[in-house]
Homo-oligomer: A and B are copies of this chain.
Amino acid sequence: MHVAILGATGYSGNVLYNLLSQHPNVETINLYGHEGGKSSRFLDNEVPAFFSAHIAILPFDPKEIMANNDLLFCATPAGITKDLMEPFISADFPVIDLSGDFRLTDPATYEKWYHKEAAPVDLLEKAVYGLAEFPEEKAGKYIANPGCYATATLLGLAPLVIKHMIQKDSIIVDAKSGVSGSGRKLSSSSQYNFINENVWLYKMNKHQHIPEIMQKLNEWDSHIPAIQFSTTLIPVTRGIMATIYLKPLKKYTNEQLLECFHQFYDDAPFIRFRENDLPTIKEVTGSNFCDIGINYNPITNTITIVSVIDNLMKGAAGQAIQNFNILCSLEPTSGLPQLPVFP
């Protein structure tokens, strides 16, 4: 196949390019940049680590992209993507979009959380939210790849929520994330001297992944009213740990709880449900795995679920490849490493 990447110079785009260049079903990768007018850009110039990938970054041209490729990966930032996608959606051209612009079906919700104008409703309706293990029933060729926090949180919550085993107003998520989650752009809060030896709870009640989590949770159980969701920046480059606290609907035995997770995840190639321990983020770094562990505390009647991912893999580019495999009916694990980079 011939695939295009729009935005290969950002972190997700970097990882995407790396994965696609080793994907057995991908023959050529064409790179495009959304900034018009610039010419003669090359991947290796922008990303020294990719010194051996002297690949031109072509100017953005929807017709040219559709003529020369079978599918587009879009790794441009939220707020920019929405203005570029109309030609592809109108042509029903396959797109896997890593930005947040087409994840929310309700434009007003988008505008509240992203503080930007939303894409038109008729375009939003065409997008399918691509949480790979829990596909939407709606078919479609425009896949809105989930956010990193949303992926870790939803995969941790799914079994008990779908089976209606929890008290609906009891969900509290304390999520921790590495710094690559906020991308390549300069900011005072991504400076080494700020992050190193530090921990910071940021965007209190304001993180833009909250509404996509709620949207998916309500697809599973429309009576969940809200979740308390905190995002804490930790001094690592890659990785998310979502620590989820909730109350069970009634007394379950430990076996019932484990059984519920096994039922959903025993056949999922990228979910490793760990019955006997709680996973650490380093155990999934560099892989597309989401590792999940649970614990029940009878004294407080609280279930703790720990869900870890590599935010740039399962939380971005890895899941995008997974969605690519699904959309194109390829082997589900094709082109994805089968083990983490360890140590």
Give me the interface of A with B, judged by CB distance under 8 Å: 11, 14-15, 17-18, 21-22, 47-53, 169, 172, 174, 176, 178-180, 184, 186-188, 190-201, 204-205, 226-228, 230, 232, 234-239, 241, 243, 245, 272, 274, 277-286, 289, 291, 295, 297, 299-300, 302, 304, 306, 308, 312, 337-343
Say whether A192 contacts B227, CB under 8 Å: no
Instruction: A229 to B197: give the CA distance in the assembly, Å.
Output: 23
Complex interface: chain B residues within 8 A of A49 (CB): 282-284, 339-340, 342-343
Q: How far is the CB of A24 from chain B (nearest CB, A)?
A: 9
Q: How far is the CB of A203 from chain B (nearest CB, A)?
A: 10
Complex interface: chain B residues within 8 A of A239 (CB): 197-199
Known: A300-B228, A343-B11. A236 touches B199 (CB 8 A): yes
Residue with the highest number of chain B CB atoms closer than 10 Å, among A11, A47, A174, A340: A174
Nearest residue (CB) in B for A296 is B205
Say whether A18 contacts B339, CB under 8 Å: yes
Complex interface: chain B residues within 8 A of A11 (CB): 193, 343
Cβ-closest 4 pairs across A and B: A198-B282, A49-B342, A174-B174, A49-B283
Complex interface: chain B residues within 8 A of A338 (CB): 21-22, 52
Complex interface: chain B residues within 8 A of A226 (CB): 299-300
Say whether B339 contacts A50, CB under 8 Å: yes
Instruction: A216 to B310: give the CA distance in the assembly, Å.
Output: 39
Say whether A232 contacts B176, CB under 8 Å: yes
The answer, among B51, B176, B308, for a CB contact under 8 Å with A283, is B51
Say whether B236 contacts A22, CB under 8 Å: no
Q: How far is the CB of A169 from chain B (nearest CB, A)?
A: 8
Complex interface: chain B residues within 8 A of A204 (CB): 278, 295, 304
Nearest residue (CB) in B for A48 is B283
Instruction: A205 to B299: give the CA distance in the assembly, Å.
Output: 9
Instruction: A284 to B52: give the CA distance in the assembly, Å.
Output: 11
Say whether B241 contacts A199, CB under 8 Å: yes
Instruction: A201 to B190: give the CA distance in the assembly, Å.
Output: 21
Say whether B227 contacts A243, CB under 8 Å: no
Say whether A172 contacts B235, CB under 8 Å: no
Say whether A197 contacts B51, CB under 8 Å: no
Say whether A199 contacts B176, CB under 8 Å: yes
The answer, among B48, B193, B302, for a CB contact under 8 Å with A172, is B302
The answer, among B18, B232, B280, for a CB contact under 8 Å with A198, is B280
Say whether A193 contacts B184, CB under 8 Å: yes
The answer, among B51, B197, B312, for a CB contact under 8 Å with A272, is B51
Instruction: A180 to B194: give the CA distance in the assembly, Å.
Output: 10
